[in-house]
Amino acid sequence: MSTPLLSIENLDVAFHFQDGDYNAINHVSFNVYPNEVLGIVGESGCGKSLTSKAIMGILPENASVKQGSITFRETNLVTMKEKQWQKIRGDAISMISQEPMTSLNPLLTVGKQIAEVLKQHRSYSKKEMKEKTIALMKEVGLPRAEALYKSYPHQLSGGMRQRIVIAIALIASPQLIIADEPTTALDVTIQAQILDLFKNIKNTRNSSLIFISHDLGVIRQVCDRVVVMYAGRVVEQGKVADILYEPKHPYTKGLIQSIPDHTKRGQELYTIPGNVPGLKERKRGCPFADRCAHRMDICHTHFPDEVYVENQAVSCHLYTKEEVKHVSTIH
Amino acid sequence: MSAPFIELHNVHKHYKQNRRSIFDDQPSVVKAMNGVSFSLYEGESFGLVGESGSGKSTTGQVILQLLKQTSGSIYYQGTDVTTFTKQQLKSWRKKVQIVFQDPYASLNPKKTIEWILHEPLEIHHIGDKASREEKILETIHDVGLDTSFLDRFPHELSGGQRQRVAIASALVLDPEFIVIDEGVSALDVSVQAQILNLLTKLQKKYNLTYLFISHDLNVVQYFCDRIAIMYLGEIVELGSTEDIGTNPKHPYAEALFSAIPHLDVDEERIPLAGELPDPSNPPTGCPFHTRCAKAMDSCKSVKPVVHTMRAGYQVTCHLYTQEPEHQTS
């Protein structure tokens, strides 16, 4: 494969509490290659959003990177100063957040909010900025872009607001776009329209995308590869089809099996026993061990190394033994 | 089929909005329910689906009389609840409960779980101290929690545990009917599966009837026996989950079901242009004609009537009323 655009290596992010530091992200490593869509899946509290905030350099005040590196175009972002961050944010890396209601400024027209990015990062004339903004508004599927340029966020529907947020993220033609649950707050028909827009972005622009979602059906539609996270760890990563149809990690298998659909009507749904451990409840070893049907003694003491099983990379002791055991699916 | 458990007859719920400017002649009216009729049968799970703004939550709350309908009748086991006095409503409300989407917002943060479960019993003057305690213990076990939870506060619980408490507080009064308004939508899949299994278990144990309001079609198709699809305050299609899930008839239902992101192969998606029209100014004729790929001239002016495809399966669309041969199938 080509050189990665973004490379995260051994990243630890900790929250600081009065009684000490607690790692919310533990030894996370993955790459994003040019022109690919990488999905990150996992349940709430597994560290998906925190990872993306670490990449953007917008960690909460009581959290910081403890170790590891985030390399973007040969620069380690972790050691950068705030001034340098500001040059990158919105320009080379941009972000689309879940809530289109709260991520727009209610007091500014939407056109101004899109053009603002160009004002920060480019030296265009006012006229050029407006032209570029309106052209992009049309590209993301906003009707009557000229008229909408002067409207305020409250005048728009949820789907239109999300298109504005996407336009803000796209206007500077960034090399990396991070979309954090971009369709979760939308209705299924609007979600389908926005997902089409993302597929379009992938085809027409030379950007890479990190697409965070808890919905595996959505991930399947837009992503090339996927990273599965659990309790701050990457447990499995690989091509979307391999992960969804041939999952190897017991957590990934459980997650896929617990999704309801019409074929499972009348049957009890598979459930993973227990809950995701809280930040302060995480123990040594594999964080999934307490909920895992295949747990062994070693799972409680050591986190498994990442090994390749068939086409994907898995962190599970079931596969770290010399002879790779065949693990039947959980039923 | 047996007599309906709950029956809605041409129910309207209109919200008046304040005049937007002094130049408006009249206040605008949002018709959140515009002539809704359907029946629920005892022991079934009835799914109500549609986009935000379609009137699904309003329907749930009007059935429970948490909102007063503008016109129409609602029969509960043959009695019209819209004519109930305050006193009658209070005693009836023991039997009908609701579980909301957000267990963070629906549980009192300053009270313990025990207090939350005790309160409904006290309001309705049920039992004495000893029998109330017994009932609370039974209910907390029913929802899969143990007694150690009784002294805790809602913020000490995870999202799934909180939703179990919300279900328990509905269950403690021995209800017959529960409205589940997006009750599993905010939960992670693995927790969602646990709660869905719990709801199924409770339904079997207590012969509960559910009105299951959700925008998640995968969940509805898994959980519900019958489905009604709402669009701009009207039911456009109603039938068994098998009928609608495998072969939806109304163009809106077709588009909605084809938009579900599946894990396996992609169905061909029927694109739906635009968004839900302004509900205070709905289109004339069929409310869906502005987004419908199959719209004909008559759709713009003539409102379609409910058409029964076969017993228990109805569609409100001109495509079917004009082809009488469909009726016999």
Outline where chain B has alpha helix (H).
56-63, 86-92, 103-106, 113-123, 129-142, 159-171, 189-206, 217-223, 241-246, 251-258, 297-301, 318-321
Q: Where residue B327 falls among pLDDT bands split at 50, 70, 90?
A: very low
At A219-229, the pLDDT tens digits run 999 999 999 99
Contact A4, A210 (CB under 8 A): no
Q: Any CB–CB contact under 8 A between B10 and chain A?
A: no
Q: Element (H or E) spanning B73, and its range?
A: strand B71-76
What is the structure's pLDDT at B274? 76
A191: closest chain B residue by CA: B259
Bridge partners of residue A278, in order along the sequence: none
Question: What does the pLDDT average to over B148-164?
Answer: 91
Alpha-carbon gap, residue A314 to A324, rounded angstroms: 12
Identify the CATH class of B6-19+27-247.
alpha beta
- Choose between B259 and B69: higher pLDDT: B69
What is the structure's pLDDT at A282? 87
Q: Is the pLDDT of residue B91 over 80?
A: yes
Q: Any CB–CB contact under 8 A between B197 and chain A?
A: yes
Q: What is the ipTM of this complex?
A: 0.83
Percentage of chain B exceeding pLDDT 70 = 94
**Closest in A43, A187, A275 to B215, CB measured:** A187
The pTM score is: 0.88
Bridge partners of residue B123, in order along the sequence: none
Indicate the domain borders of chain B: 6-19+27-247
Q: Any CB–CB contact under 8 A between B269 and chain A?
A: yes
What is the phi/psi pair of residue B199, to 5°?
Answer: -60, -40
Contacts of A269 in chain B (CB under 8 A): 193, 196-197, 222
What is the structure's pLDDT at B94? 93
| Integer-rounded Cα radius of gyration of chain B | 21
Question: What does the pLDDT average to over B191-200?
Answer: 94
Token pair listed for B283:
């289109």
**Which one, of B72, B102, B76, lies nearest residue B234 by Cα?**
B72
Q: Any CB–CB contact under 8 A between A37 and chain B?
A: no
**Closest in B158, B159, B256 to A189, CB measured:** B256
Contacts of A214 in chain B (CB under 8 A): 188-189
Query: A262, B215: Cβ pair inside 8 Å?
Result: no
Q: Is B136 left (phi over 0), alpha (psi -120 to 50) or beta?
A: alpha
Sole residue written with tokens 């009507």? A265
Residue-by-residue pLDDT tens, chain A, 331 positions: 689 999 999 999 999 999 999 999 999 999 999 999 999 998 888 899 999 999 999 999 999 999 999 999 999 999 999 999 999 999 999 999 877 778 899 999 999 999 999 999 999 999 999 999 999 999 898 888 999 999 999 888 888 899 999 999 999 999 999 999 888 878 888 888 889 889 888 888 889 999 999 889 899 999 999 999 999 999 999 999 999 999 999 999 999 999 998 889 889 999 998 888 888 888 889 999 999 999 999 999 999 999 999 889 999 999 986 544 444 444 3
**Closest in B51, B196, B216 to A189, CB measured:** B51
What is the structure's pLDDT at B319? 92
